[in-house]
Amino acid sequence: MKRLILLLVAQTLLSVPVFSQEVKVPDAEQFVGKPQGQPVSGALLDQRTNEIGGLLRCPVCQGMSIADSPSEMAVNMKHQVRELIARGYTQEQILRYFERSYGQFVLLKPKFQGVNTLVWILPILALILGAAVIFSFMNRHPVDEPPATTADEDPYLAEVRKLTGKQS
């Protein structure tokens, strides 16, 4: 009888679909390792979320950060940033996590490497060049007056001077 009950229980358990497997979303730890900072909460968490959110581009907007965009995508990303900060992930780890998925496109402040170097260098070069142009104009020698013509060179002028009584 006992065996029959056990058999019935086992059969019942086996016939029920097993959905015990947990829902698992990709986690930052898989890509950037364990948190390297301290868990953050309260007002500081809000502040850090806005700071880091301001460094990440909203992928469905035109040049807006996820901190500024009201789009659902940006809101989801911001929630994830918040969650990661709360767990103790550093700014560098969080940016690296998003960069792994979206590439450098997601960083509003481009990295100083490759072609991006030009983005940093060209404005500085343009500034130096502009300063050089202004400097060269400011230090330009005043236009020299034409040298006084001597009487030997111009007999007509010598005659005029003689008549007017002026000497060079």
- CA-derived radius of gyration, the chain: 38
Q: Pick from 117, 126, 159, 162: which binds other proteins (CB under 8 A)?
A: 126
141 binds other proteins (CB under 8 A): no
CA atoms within 13 A on the CB side of 22: 3
Contact present, 49 and 57 (Cβ < 8 Å): no
> Rule CB under 8 A: which of 32-91 touch other proteins?
59-60, 62, 72-73, 76-77, 79-80
Least Å distance between CB 158 and other proteins?
39
Closer CB to other proteins, 44 or 118, in the complex: 118
Biggest alpha carbon–alpha carbon distance for the chain: 150
Q: Which stretch binds other proteins (CB under 8 A): 46-54, 87-95, 99-107, 147-155?
A: 99-107
Token pair 């006084």: residue: 148
Phi, psi of 24 (to 5 degrees): -135, 115
Cα–Cα distance measured from residue 104 to residue 114, given in angstroms and rounded to the nearest whole number: 11
Closer CB to other proteins, 48 or 82, in the complex: 82
Phi, psi of 107 (to 5 degrees): -90, 120
23 binds other proteins (CB under 8 A): yes
Contact residues for other proteins, defined by CB under 8 A: 17, 19, 21-26, 30-31, 59-60, 62, 72-73, 76-77, 79-80, 98-103, 105-106, 115, 118, 122, 125-126, 129, 132-133, 136
